[in-house]
Amino acid sequence: MALDRITLQNFRNHRATELAGTCQFNLLVGENGAGKTNVLEALSLLAPGRGLRRAALDEMAGQAGGGGFAIGASLKEQGHESARLGTYVESERAGRRLVRINGAEASAASLGEWFAIGWLTPAQDRLFADSAGARRRHVDRMALALDPQHASRVSRFEAALRERNRLLERGGDSTWLDAIEAQVTEHGERVAFGRSQLVAALSDELSALPDGPFAKPILTYRPGGPTEFEALRAEFRLQRGRDRAAGRALTGPQRDELEVIMAGSGQSAAACSTGEQKAMLIAMTLAHAVLAAEGRPGVLLLDEVAAHLDPVRRSALFDRLRQGRAQVWLTGTEEGPFAEIVDEAAVWRVAAGTVERL
């Protein structure tokens, strides 16, 4: 099963773009700024969440649509369409993203029931040297591909935590704090569980990957506090005075951390070379793609990934992608780095927001 008959209307620099006749490998080539990544971003919005750029909706709309845009795609199985998915923003309701599945209104979370999507972009190259918050968001995005409800749990937890902070600042009474902390704890326990399960599954998949040119990362989930309901609730109650003074909660899932070291050397990923970090990111992305494709179609978006790999690593990457079940979308400024897969790929030339099949 794969995405096909993809349409973009007034999305960023794409006025009206259609891509049909897709394959397992799909290659978008063109100059920088032509609109290749915009196509990948559109595909990433056919899943729950904010897409690969985490951009505001008004940033995505092209100039011609008055704040609106539309993205659609068919799920193709054995050559036949099995579902039509779409997401759009109406110009008169520009602050809200809407979803349709087979013509009927649906929730964004329901998109995740049809296929799982993952991506690797140049912006993620600094993940290991970035903040703990950036790594939490990365874990949450990977968890969302496995469990479409994970994003709503994170949103509920964060909203309840903000309300607790406001009550502490205003000197709210203990009854109100007890009630809101029950919500914080309920959602926080579920968020922490989802993250820990994702990291455990990803670690198992990484250990099962064959040895090769990609450095293997070792992942450890470090919770930011107790993970069981009663213990976490008691901790929030105990630390009210400290948290009031700090202006924020200093214990809980909002303090979770993903620790990554390189197998063999035991060196922290943040201290590894740029090439080693990229190799570990690719290994994580490939392992996640295997997990995400279990029971559902998988789609993997790789933005400008091949140009930064030597020929040996490029060949190894293509081999692993070929063996996987995910449909793969790649971008590059030229076909040269993709010579090994061009003959088996659908290739499009992207220029100034237009797409031409080669």
Which residue type, as a one-letter code, is found at position 94? A
At what angle are helices 311-323 and 274-292 packed, to 10 degrees?
A: 10
Report the Cα 187 to chain-centroid distance in Å: 21
CA-closest candidate to residue 52, choices 145, 144, 119: 119
Note whether 14 and 38 are within 8 A (CB).
yes
Establish whether 293 is an annotated binding residue: no
Whether residue 32 is annotated as binding a ligand: the answer is: yes
Name, in order, each residue with C-beta under 8 angstroms of 92's C-beta and a sequence gap of 6 or more: none
User: Is 72 annotated for ligand binding?
Assistant: no
Cα separation values, 224 from 70, 143, 232, Å: 39, 18, 10
Dihedral (C-alpha) 280, 281, 285, 286: value to the nearest 10 degrees? -30
171 in a known ligand binding site: no
Distance separating alpha carbons of residues 39 and 15, to the nearest angstrom? 12
Ligand-binding site membership of 35 (annotated):
yes
Written as one letter, the residue type at 83 is A
216 known ligand binder = no
38 membership: H or E segment, kind and range: helix 36-44
Asked if residues 106 and 100 have their Cβ atoms less than 8 Å apart, the reply is yes
66 labelled binding-site residue: no
Fill in the amino acid letter for 55. A
Q: What is the DSSP string of 35-79?
A: SHHHHHHHHHTSSSSSTTTT--HHHHB-GGGTT-EEEEEEEEETT
Q: Is the dihedral of CA 86, 52, 309, 351 positive or negative?
A: positive
Radius of gyration of the chain (CA): 22
Query: What whole-number distance in Å separates Cα of residue 81 and Cα of residue 103?
Result: 14
Q: Could you tell me if 75 and 82 are in contact, meaning their C-beta atoms sit under 8 angstroms apart?
A: yes
- Is 36 labelled a binding residue? yes
Report residue 66 as tokens.
């008055």
> DSSP 3-state assignment of 82?
strand
Known binding residues: 30-37
Known binding residues for ATP: 30-37
